[in-house]
Amino acid sequence: MNAADKTRWGIVFLAVAAGIAGGLQVGKVPPALPALRDSLDLGLIAGGLVHSMFNAVSALLGIMAGITADRMGHRTGALAGVLFMAGGSLLGWMSVDGTSLIAARFFEGIGFVLVIVAAPSLIVEATTPGQQRVALGLWGTYMPTGMTLVLITAPLILAGTGWRGLWLANGIVLAVFAVIFALGTRGIGRRPAESSTVGESLRDVGTTVSRLGPWLLAACFGVYTTQWMALTAWMPTFLIDDVGFGTGAAAGFTAAMVFVNIFGNLLGTWLLHRGVPRWVLLLCAFIIMGSTALGVFSGAIGSGAKLVLALLFSGLGGILPPSILSGVPVHSPSLALVGTTNGVIVQGANVGTFAGPPLLAALVGAMGGWQQASWLMPLMGCIGIGLALALRAEERRL
């Protein structure tokens, strides 16, 4: 067996590490937001923009980033993304007001979306077909891993150097990692897509978006992130208001809730490797998320049971990302267009990430409480069940 017939696990782990670095940039804002608002005199809207700029960029530019990664080559695209995030974090460190910080987060967002469309494409290039599900399952852990790491380390950095120290530390880590990534991924990288004109690129995009599969995967991811981000974003507030937790305990439990999502990703990877059909995993995960979230908000369930249900919601919900991502090579028109297919899925995922927290907040405010707004979660679960069944029908046609 020659080298081309073997999975290059070192490159897989570097690609996953690039995603984790992106997860750090997503997760660094919430613990720093109070200090940011005090330091830069940010209002609630400006503070929300600092947090949501990542998701807005990804929701708007996912397909464009996928096209760019396919054209420049997936290794180059991922490396450019890491450098953009490094530069954006360093610009944020030097920000003098809210406008400059939001602009810096825009650059970070461009880097993030480049990484999350190019890195899984690079993983597909580095793996044999029989091991792609395992490798893409590992990729699915990037967000909860990155967010957990920053939730643990950020308070220590903030206590010592403030929010600027957190941004500077991230910029330095990303710059160093860019060098490691560049050196460690030499010798791989599919030639950029052969399309050399704008017209040919648009034709390739048309080929991708005309397929139903990528849109079904994107919709599944969007339903998942709507639920997961809504509950994790508001869990500290819910625990303080409804369960009676203190601020520290609420933050600690939320970090644990994010952390257990990693194990769900690994479980989903293992089940895929054992041959469980993708649509079955999606179906079961959507049922679990919808029902456990309903229990979390129920007035008839005790506080201890609510905490258990919240952990089950996040942990078993983690089955969804590897199940969805493993479908990318299946539904991509060709290996050269995996980045564009990822771009479609990234847009769907980030629409949910962007919409979930404010949607839940609006419902809670309009309906007068958490329990009254809890129907959102089973509704999203039912939509997810329909999408899983539609994906089953689509994959039977392939």
**pLDDT at position 254:** 87
User: pTM for the full model?
Assistant: 0.84
Whether 323 and 396 share a structural domain: yes
**pLDDT at position 1:** 38
Domain total of the chain: 2
109 found inside a domain: yes
Of 158, 192, 226, the one marking the end of a domain is 192
Whether 179 and 257 share a structural domain: no
1 found inside a domain: no
197 found inside a domain: no
Domain that holds residue 49: 7-192
Residue 201 pLDDT > 70: no
pLDDT for 295-331, tens place per residue?
998 888 888 999 999 999 999 999 999 999 999 889 9
Question: Please, what's the b/e burial string for 73-110 (b: 16 or more CB within 10 A of its CB; e: otherwise)?
Answer: bbbbbbbbbbbbbbbbbbbbbebeebeebbebbbbbbb
Number of H helices, E strands in the chain: 16, 0
Query: For 130-151, what is the mean pLDDT?
Result: 89
253 found inside a domain: yes
Element (H, E) at 263: helix 247-273
Whether 118 and 233 share a structural domain: no
Whether 86 and 184 share a structural domain: yes
Whether 174 and 40 share a structural domain: yes
Of 162, 192, 222, the one marking the end of a domain is 192
CATH number of domain containing 343: 1.20.1250.20
173 found inside a domain: yes
Whether 72 and 187 share a structural domain: yes
Conformation bin of residue 334: beta by default, left when phi > 0, alpha when psi is -120 to 50 = beta
Whether 113 and 218 share a structural domain: no
Whether 225 and 85 share a structural domain: no
More confident: 90 or 121: 90
pLDDT for 32-50, tens place per residue?
877 888 888 877 667 777 8
Lowest pLDDT segment from 89-93, 308-312, 369-373: 369-373
Whether 185 and 279 share a structural domain: no
Whether 110 and 175 share a structural domain: yes
Report yes or no: 320 and 189 within 8 Å, Cβ to Cβ. no
55 found inside a domain: yes
Whether 179 and 249 share a structural domain: no
